[in-house]
Amino acid sequence: MLRVQRASQINGTVRVPGDKSISHRAVMFGALAEGTTSIEGFLPGADCLSTISCFRKMGIEIEQDKDRVTVHGQGWYGLQEPSQHLDVGNSGTTIRLMAGILATQPFHSVMEGDESIAKRPMRRVIGPLRQMGAKIDGRKDGEYTPLSIRGGELQGISYQSPVASAQIKSAILLAGMQANGVTSVTEPHLSRDHTERMLQAFGVKLVRDGLTVSIEGGQKLKGRAIQVPGDISSAAYMIAAVMMVPGSSLLIENVGINPSRTGILDVVDRMGGKIERINERVVNEEPVADLLVTYSELQGIEISGDIIPRLIDEIPVIAVMATQAGGRTVIKDAEELKVKETDRIATVVSELSKLGAKIIATEDGMIIEGPTPLKGAVIDSFGDHRIGMAMAIAGLAAEGETLIENDDAILVSFPGFPDVLQSISK
Ligand code: S3P
């Protein structure tokens, strides 16, 4: 159980763990590349450790010591047929991206995960992979795990994705890497583009044209050194902590500021908060900066449309900030929240209500009225890391003590979160 007390001030200098999306991709691409890939700043969270364990089960040698990882890549077809099921744990990124990789492999494999994974939709990825010629099955005609994949020769397709999802886009592009001809994916809004950037860093050629990415089959990856920046999705909790406690300020060093991820910075800016980007630089095709965050009184706003995929994982903590903002915050076009680790519309609304927030669920988001004084309560993370952390941040502004049950889930993306929070709270 995580205990959080009301804070009178947040300040100091912190670093957050490595980016989850980039850490997964560095291991996957390293395993498929020719030669060695050394990773610094890797996120040793449960999700990324699941990715490592899956590749080890396919014969790839991977050394990991905290945030340093060395992957001994054997080339795209250097994977061996796994003799056991591949356990993806809680990780949607692992199962969906691996589905694209396994669809190209000349062997049979089975992927499964935890209770949450068993409820998450997979046909959004399996459908287009089947169109390319992959033989994939799962419960309810491939909608749910376990997924059984018999890979082989694939044909390139032009796929119009109905949702802006980096996991769908990446799975198809990875399958397209070994398909005949060209594979292209078009999405309705731009989702995070770490796959595109990192494939290019590994020597792959792809073409980006607006919302379409195209890749030619038969390409090779070349192992290299990767430095992973801090995860802006983890920094979001620290930013929100500052905005919850008047008089606070914080320097967050080494944060990835890829424009497909910076919706949180734009939202805080529009709400009236102050975040200065210092020492901007580019590391392995990814923009990075230090963020100097200063408290200001926030105002409610509407958040909808193109920005949603740029902040999808930050919506729980944005809802928390909105409880302390003046007026109404409306979050729309975010039905994807329903198929994350939990139904995050339902879990954010139920848990914030326990703390006394004025929040209601809508079909595609939520509406929050503020500012509202919060009162400590017993909260459930429901096994969802982002719900656990968002509610801990709410606890910083709540009277008395807030208790978070099932806080182990936080290890999925932010090991050390309670210590970091403690170190910046007064
Ligand atoms: C991720 C993509 C996002 C995000 C998830 C990580 C990725 O999901 O929610 O936490 O690493 O590709 P979408 O597939 O909905 O974009």
Please name the residue whose Cα sits nearest to atom 4 of ligand 1. 313
Atom of ligand 1 nearest to the CA of 168: 14
pLDDT in tens, 38-89: 999 999 999 999 999 999 999 999 999 999 999 999 999 999 999 999 999 9
Q: Are 406 and 380 in contact (CB under 8 A)?
A: yes
Average pLDDT over residues 112-140: 98
What is the rounded CA–CA span in Å between residue 392 and residue 379?
A: 9
Centroid of ligand 1 to alpha carbon of 377 (angstroms): 30
Q: Please state the pTM of the whole predicted model.
A: 0.98
Atom of ligand 1 nearest to the CA of 336: 15
CA quadruple 232, 233, 234, 237: dihedral, nearest 10: 110
Atom of ligand 1 nearest to the CA of 233: 10
Q: What pLDDT band is residue 115 in, cutting at 50, 70 and 90?
A: very high
Centroid of ligand 1 to alpha carbon of 25 (angstroms): 12
Task: List residues bridging with 275 in a β-sheet.
Answer: 293
pLDDT in tens, 203-234: 999 999 999 999 999 999 999 999 999 999 99
Q: Which residues contact 349 (CB under 8 A, 6 or more apart)?
A: 359, 360, 361, 366
Q: Tell me: is residue 53 an annotated ligand-binding position.
A: no
What is the rounded CA–CA span in Å between residue 205 and residue 199?
A: 8
Please name the residue whose Cα sits nearest to atom 11 of ligand 1. 21
pLDDT in tens, 174-186: 999 999 999 999 9
Closest to 100 in 3D by CA, of 166, 194, 43: 166
Q: Tell me: is residue 20 an annotated ligand-binding position.
A: yes
- How many CB atoms neighbour CB 260 within 10 A? 18
Q: What pLDDT band is residue 289 in, cutting at 50, 70 and 90?
A: very high
Is 313 a residue of the active site?
yes
What value does the CA radius of gyration of the chain take, rounded to a whole number of Å? 21
Q: Are 117 and 340 in contact (CB under 8 A)?
A: no
Percentage of residues of the chain with pLDDT beyond 90: 100
303 secondary structure, DSSP code: E
What is the rounded CA–CA span in Å between residue 260 and residue 216?
A: 24
Q: Catalytic one among 47, 313, 380, 407?
A: 313
Kindly report the backbone phi and psi dihedral angles of residue 87, in degrees, each rounded to the nearest multiple of 5, phi listed first: -100, 115
Average pLDDT over residues 109-119: 98
pLDDT in tens, 360-412: 999 999 999 999 999 999 999 999 999 999 999 999 999 999 999 999 999 99
What is the rounded CA–CA span in Å between residue 364 and residue 329?
A: 14
Centroid of ligand 1 to alpha carbon of 145 (angstroms): 18
Please name the residue whose Cα sits nearest to atom 10 of ligand 1. 313
Q: Are 36 and 63 in contact (CB under 8 A)?
A: no
| Residue 124, pLDDT score | 98
pLDDT in tens, 239-271: 999 999 999 999 999 999 999 999 999 999 999
| Residue 205, pLDDT score | 98
Q: How far is CA 340 from CA 88, 92, 239, 275, in A?
A: 15, 8, 22, 28
Q: What pLDDT band is residue 136 in, cutting at 50, 70 and 90?
A: very high
Mutation probe of ligand 1 site: the residue of 27, 43, 50, 165 with most atoms within 8 A of C-beta: 165
Residues with CB under 6 A from ligand 1: 21, 93, 165-167, 170, 191-192, 312-313, 336
The domains found in the chain, sorted by start residue, are 2-18+229-424 (3.65.10.10), 20-227 (3.65.10.10)
